[in-house]
Amino acid sequence: MNVTIKDVAREANVSPSTVSRVLAGNPRISDETKEKVMETVKRLNYHPNVIARSLANNVTKILGLILPSGEEDLFRNPFFIQVMTGISIYAQKMGYSIVYTFSKNEEEEIAFLANYINSKMVDGMLLLTTRSEDKCVEYLNERQFPFVIVGRPEISADILWVDNDNRRAMYDVTKSLIEKGHDDIAFIGGPSERTMSKDRLSGYKDALIEANISIDEKLILQMSDFTENEGYDACSSILEYRKPSAIVTTDDLLAFGVSKKFKEEKIKDVWLVGFNNIPLSEYQNPPLSTVDINAKKLGYYATKLLIDRLQQKEQELDHYIIETKFIERESTNIG
Statement: residue 157 has pLDDT above 90 = no
**130 — pLDDT class (breaks 50, 70, 90):** confident
242-276 burial code (b ≥16 CB/10 A, e <16): eebbbbbbbbbbbbbbbbebbeeeebeebbbbbbb
Residue 112 structural domain = 62-164+295-322
pLDDT at residue number 174? 98
Give pLDDT tens digits for 299-326. Answer: 999 999 999 999 988 878 899 999 999 9
| 149 in the same domain as 89 | yes
| 240 in the same domain as 211 | yes
Q: Are 222 and 193 spatial neighbours (Cβ–Cβ below 8 Å)?
A: no
| 172 in the same domain as 316 | no
The 10 Å Cβ neighbour count of residue 297 is 17
Which residues touch 115 (CB under 8 Å, ≥6 apart)? 121
- First CA to last CA distance, the chain: 70
What's the CA gap between 24 and 57, in Å, rounded?
8
Which residues touch 305 (CB under 8 Å, ≥6 apart)? 148, 160, 161, 162, 315, 317, 318, 319, 320
Statement: residue 56 has pLDDT above 80 = no
**54 — pLDDT class (breaks 50, 70, 90):** low
The 10 Å Cβ neighbour count of residue 214 is 7
Give pLDDT tens digits for 170-192. Answer: 999 999 999 999 999 999 999 99
Average pLDDT, rounded, for the chain: 89
DSSP labels, 2-30: ---HHHHHHHHTS-HHHHHHHHTT-TTS-
pLDDT at residue number 21? 79
CATH code, domain with 207: 3.40.50.2300
Which pTM value belongs to this model? 0.80
What is the pairing mode between strands 246-249 and 147-150? unpaired
Which of 42, 57, 72 finishes a domain? 57
**Number of domains within the chain:** 3
| 46 in the same domain as 190 | no
| 286 in the same domain as 184 | yes
pLDDT at residue number 159? 93
- Range 47-56, long-range pairs (CB < 8 A, 24+ positions): 47/3, 48/5, 48/23, 53/20, 53/23, 53/24, 54/120, 56/20
HEC-encoded secondary structure of 44-73: HCCCCCHHHHHHHHCCCCEEEEEECCCHHH
pLDDT at residue number 326? 96
| 66 in the same domain as 42 | no
Does residue 246 lie in a domain region?
Answer: yes
What's the CA gap between 192 and 45, in Å, rounded?
53
What percent of the chain clears pLDDT 90, i.e. is strictly above it?
59
pLDDT at residue number 49? 63
CATH code, domain with 18: 1.10.260.40
| 238 in the same domain as 92 | no
Name the β-bridge partners of 160.
Answer: 148
What's the CA gap between 270 and 262, in Å, rounded?
8
Give pLDDT tens digits for 65-118. Answer: 988 765 455 556 788 889 999 999 999 999 999 998 888 788 889 998 998 888
| 70 in the same domain as 25 | no
One-letter amino acid of 69: S
**41 — pLDDT class (breaks 50, 70, 90):** confident
Select the more confidently predicted residue: 6 or 327.
327
Which of 35, 57, 79 finishes a domain? 57
| 180 in the same domain as 70 | no
- Range 174-178, long-range pairs (CB < 8 A, 24+ positions): 174/203, 174/204, 174/207, 174/208, 174/248, 175/207, 175/210, 175/211, 176/326, 176/328, 177/246, 177/248, 177/271, 177/273, 178/207, 178/208, 178/211, 178/213
Q: What's the mean pLDDT in 46-52? A: 65
Least confident of 82-86, 129-133, 206-210, 233-237: 129-133
pLDDT at residue number 1? 58
Does residue 327 lie in a domain region?
Answer: no
Which of 254, 270, 292 finishes a domain? 292
| 184 in the same domain as 66 | no
**335 — pLDDT class (breaks 50, 70, 90):** very low
| 120 in the same domain as 37 | no
Highest mean pLDDT among 70-79, 243-252, 282-291, 308-317: 243-252
| 231 in the same domain as 218 | yes
Does residue 329 lie in a domain region?
Answer: no
Does residue 333 lie in a domain region?
Answer: no
Statement: residue 48 has pLDDT above 70 = no
Statement: residue 332 has pLDDT above 80 = no
